[in-house]
Amino acid sequence: MKAHSRACVRAGATDVVAVEENREGIAAGKRHAARNGLKVRWMEADVFQFLRAAEKAQAQYDLIVLDPPSFTKTKSGGRDALRGYRELHLRAFKLLSKDGLLATFSCSHHVSEAAFAQTIVDALVDARRSARKLRQFEQAPDHPVLPTLPETEYFKGLLLEMMPGR
């Protein structure tokens, strides 16, 4: 079970939906939730399809956590990864309530922090939404960044709060 789902339930969220494409991941998540008495609705789906369907159904969320696997394992895949991040964020921004929160992460060292941030800005503009950055995340000390090995600096994240505006 993704730690995000568990944290949301324990923090008092009344409706938690976890979207996972991997069937084994869902089975493990369900077992963990049952063992710990946590109520999580599991959806086996491609997250892009899930977000499109949620938008079509005019769903709205107060918190969305985006924590996809690395969109690229190679430098040459960077452009496609950024397109994926842009679509992911665009769809999430359209689903957030007027003062909703987005926690978003990338674990690809082939996508720089600056490129990741710019992709989020571009998606905000496309979604006609405004947000403020509440917090920036980096990897924990148990995942050290070695200046001589740039690929060790792979984790980046932001917490954004939607704002009135557009």
Percent with pLDDT over 90 in the chain: 61
DSSP label at 131?
E
| Structural domains of the chain, with CATH | 1-45 (no CATH), 46-163 (3.40.50.150)
Distance in angstroms (rounded) separating the CA atoms of residues 115 and 56: 29
Q: Which of 17, 28, 63, 107 is catalytic?
A: 107
| Separation CA 78–CA 111 (nearest Å) | 6
Tens-place pLDDT, residues 84-134: 999 999 999 999 999 999 999 998 888 889 999 999 999 999 999 999 999
Identify whether 107 is a catalytic site residue: yes
Stronger pLDDT, 75 or 154, i.e. the higher one: 154
Question: Is this prediction's pTM over 0.85?
Answer: yes
User: Residue 124, Cβ neighbours under 10 Å: how many?
Assistant: 20
Question: pLDDT grade, residue 153 (50/70/90)?
Answer: confident
pLDDT band at 161 (very low <50, low <70, confident <90, very high): very high
Q: Give the model confidence (pLDDT) of 40-50 as tens digits.
A: 999 999 999 99
